Structure 1
Amino acid sequence: MCQLEKAISIVKELKKRGHKAYFCGGCVRDYLLKRKPKDYDIVTDAHIEDIKRIFTHTIAIGAKFGIMKVLSGKESFEVATFRKDGEYQDGRRPVSVAFCDEKEDAMRRDFTVNGLFLEPDSYTIIDYVGGQKDIENKLIRTIGNPHSRFSEDHLRLMRAVRFAAQLSFEIVEETWEALVSMSKLIQTVSPERIRDELTNMLLCSHPDKAILNLKESKLLYSILPEMEGYQDNFSLTTEMLALASPLPGLDLGLGILLFPFLCFPAQGRCGEKKLVSVTKRLCLSRKTSDYLASILKNYHSFQQVPDMSKASLKRFFAIPEFPDLLELHRLEQTACKKNLDIFFYCQSKFKEWGMENVKPVPLVHGEDLMNLGFMPGPLFKKILYFIEEQQLEGSISTRKDAINLIKSHFGEGENIETKKI
């Protein structure tokens, strides 16, 4: 069975046991928009103990809130009991919940487009919140009072922006005004949740719109205060995001978002400090942090490309992040309506040489130098660099060439046993 068929079978099993059960949330919204749902969530009047009895393989992921996972083969489906939330105290989750009917469950949800239920047997939509009309009119609107909805879970401030970009919808005025007035509350959300929501924005279908709305709502500068000094350059960021969409991965998306202080020449050490601040605050992985540090360190090498030797250019190409560095250069030049001569030159040379010539197997190693009588030290490193340089330039291509060149330029170390060469 496919994912949808498995989800339908869970609903049917609940109904066979006398319970109400529907698809809910994003999968219903995506069905109406003719988009493929990422997953299928189910809501029911069955309680936790009922669900455990009905299904063999379950995991309680939020028993206090009436949420279970039902396992079917390699897939899992969230099954939740109809509930209404008690008082919120931490801007994330309610202190308590009470089980209720389907209408009250719909009314506790975040946005009208996510407050719909679907009966999968007949594909009947159950709408207590006006979600169908808002989907038809392409609008993002909170269910009920926007200040109340955003106060309950502060991450909804970012989610409103993301859904508008992801679906190409507009945020209604009342919801937008509340969002802007409450934007500083996003600072109370954990860094991990902010990072994950920012990731979803950058990887959605319109990251440029998402980031522009983050800026216009003042959320961006609450999340990334380091960006506040770059408002004059913001149109470049959004234009680059639009050109790059859909983004192939988070790292490049962050590279574009942080482009102003990663890649503007005047930043220097200031850029490094800001980058460290961002990576710590967003709890970015070591891999992503190193990637961004490499962008900061190496992006300006494009300015020197016309004057680079063959060896220097190959070393530039050998940087692991070079493909993304080249893409960032293309995006910047295109967004600024500048020529792409350096981009095409680098692209053609990289293709001409291939990775085997850009980063060839070394002709000699430290052991070879020791066999020549050289002792590890500053000269040791200088010799290896020199030989690599000549190899990259194409002046030598064999180990024998390298050994002869070392002897002619540096002589031989002490206590040489030439028979080992």
Structure 2
Amino acid sequence: MSDAVSITLKADQLNLNARKVVKRLHESGFEAYLVGGCVRDLLLDKQPKDFDVSTNAHPEEVRDLFRNSRMVGRRFKIVHVRFGREIVEVATFRAEHPEEDHETYDSSHISEGGMILSDNRYGTFREDARRRDFTINALYYDPENEEVLDPLDGVKDLEKHQIRLIGIPEDRYREDPVRMLRAIRFRAKLGFDIEDETRTAIKEYGFLLQDIPPARLFEEVLKLFMSGYALQAFAGLINEDAFRWLFPDTQNLLAEPLNQKLIELALESTDTRIGNDMPVTPAFIFAALLWGPFLEERQRLIDEEGVTIYAANMEAANNVIAKQKLFTSIPKRFSG
């Protein structure tokens, strides 16, 4: 294949179950590759946490091949193939959007901001590559033929330590605004730079994050702040003016240097704990990020409503959490 790149990956770093899935799909006459972050990490000589598979087999066909599987997802159906406690995620090649203008989509599948709500259109390997978010994640590995397929020069961007969005930033961020948070997260995780056009558009289109369900943004907050690089992620969110779409009340208090410093100290402590394999909880992350708004609300209740400090503590916490849930949900098990 013309996209093949001559790079040798270490066989002992490849996940045995993911290889089994690819082999089974190949034997059944389908294309199948390891894809995305696992290939990127292997090329960076890092051990991947997860191994995903991409194929031209449709979800129903994948499910029929693996009795130990189930289909999940609404926006884009995928199949989880289970091996004990381990899951290999299998996704069908996605088709490109015609002219990126959404004309072929029913209006019920597009949000007012242009985000695609339903996306079960299947395509070819190259179409699938162009639908991925960043070039460094559009890398495919065929373990049977031991080839890395790189249709969009992702290897060059890896060598440049660069995060580059595939396609026109406005279109890609409108398709899925969470890509802006992913760019910031990958910069924090990998220590890469964000390519200029990819980065500039984050400030311009950050408002689109308001279209994302709070439950999904909660999950993104955990990925940003509970993966061992919370301090860098926080700095990235501030630098790209994206933090305010996640924690607007906290953003309003960052003009006071002490408020920002307290958050940075808490996040630094979180990173240290993760680095030492010690537990961290979402409750601590949200307490740190919402401490400033809590203190302000508590003081307001004392000054304006004359409540006792004990009552003010309880009511301020409830008020701040209730307001924050409009932006990022906080499951009750973490908010008391």
TM tier relative to shorter chain: 0.7 to 0.9
Select the structure of larger CA radius of gyration.
1
Partner SS, residue 68 of structure 1: strand
Is the 1:206–1:246 contact (alpha carbons within 8 Å) kept by the matching residues of 2? Answer: no
Partner SS, residue 252 of structure 2: helix
What's 2:105 paired with?
A: none
Which of 9, 17, 22 is the equivalent residue of 2:33? 22
What whole-Å deviation, never above 9, does each CA across 1:306-348 have from its counterpart, x for those lacking one?
Answer: xxxxxxxxxxxxxxxxxxxxxxxxxxxxxxxxxxxxxxxxxxx
Aligned-residue offset at 1:261: 3.3
Give the Cα–Cα distance (whole angstroms) in 2 for the partners of residues 278 and 96 of structure 1. 29
Give the Cα–Cα distance (whole angstroms) in 2 for the partners of residues 38 and 92 of structure 1. 29
Q: Which amino acid aligns with 1:141?
A: R
1:149 and 2:177 aligned = no
Aligned-residue offset at 1:12: 0.9
What's 2:151 paired with?
A: 128
What's 1:43 paired with?
A: 54
Which of 328, 331, 334 is the equivalent residue of 1:282? 328
Aligned-residue offset at 1:3: 8.7
The gaps in structure 1 that reach 5 residues or longer are 291-421
Is the 2:96–2:123 contact (alpha carbons within 8 Å) kept by the matching residues of 1? Answer: no
What's 2:131 paired with?
A: 108
Provide TM-score, normalisation by structure 2: 0.76
Which of 221, 224, 240 is the equivalent residue of 1:217? 240
Q: Which amino acid aligns with 2:43?
A: L
Choose 256-265 or 230-239, whichever is displaced more.
Answer: 256-265
In angstroms, what is the RMSD of aligned CA positions? 2.7
**Equivalent residues in 2 for 1:11-410 (5 A)?**
11-62=22-73, 65=76, 67-86=78-97, 87=102, 89-90=110-111, 91-93=114-116, 95-231=118-254, 232-233=256-257, 234-247=260-273, 248-262=280-294, 267=299, 269=301, 272=317, 273-279=319-325, 281-290=327-336
Residues 37, 93 of structure 1: CA spacing in aligned structure 2 closer, same or farther, 3 A cutoff? farther
Provide TM-score, normalisation by structure 1: 0.62
Give the Cα–Cα distance (whole angstroms) in 2 for the partners of residues 188 and 97 of structure 1. 20
Aligned-residue offset at 1:31: 1.4
Is the 1:261–1:267 contact (alpha carbons within 8 Å) kept by the matching residues of 2? Answer: no
Give the Cα–Cα distance (whole angstroms) in 2 for the partners of residues 218 and 174 of structure 1. 15
Give the Cα–Cα distance (whole angstroms) in 2 for the partners of residues 55 and 158 of structure 1. 34
Higher RCO, Cα 8 Å, sep 6+: 2
Choose 208-217 or 89-98, whichever is displaced more.
Answer: 89-98
Is the 2:157–2:163 contact (alpha carbons within 8 Å) kept by the matching residues of 1? Answer: yes
Residues 259, 138 of structure 1: CA spacing in aligned structure 2 closer, same or farther, 3 A cutoff? farther
Residues 262, 138 of structure 1: CA spacing in aligned structure 2 closer, same or farther, 3 A cutoff? farther
User: Could you say which structure has the higher helix fraction?
Assistant: 1
Choose 188-197 or 42-51, whichever is displaced more.
Answer: 42-51
Aligned-residue offset at 1:75: 3.0
Give the Cα–Cα distance (whole angstroms) in 2 for the partners of residues 285 and 63 of structure 1. 22
What's 1:368 paired with?
A: none
Give the Cα–Cα distance (whole angstroms) in 2 for the partners of residues 186 and 63 of structure 1. 20
Give the Cα–Cα distance (whole angstroms) in 2 for the partners of residues 212 and 151 of structure 1. 24
Give the Cα–Cα distance (whole angstroms) in 2 for the partners of residues 221 and 211 of structure 1. 11
What whole-Å deviation, never above 9, does each CA across 1:121-143 have from its counterpart, x for those lacking one?
Answer: 34421111221122222222111
Give the Cα–Cα distance (whole angstroms) in 2 for the partners of residues 274 and 67 of structure 1. 37
Q: How many residues align?
A: 289
What whole-Å deviation, never above 9, does each CA across 1:60-81 have from its counterpart, x for those lacking one?
Answer: 2258856322333443322222
Partner SS, residue 80 of structure 1: strand
Is the 1:165–1:204 contact (alpha carbons within 8 Å) kept by the matching residues of 2? Answer: no
Partner SS, residue 77 of structure 1: strand
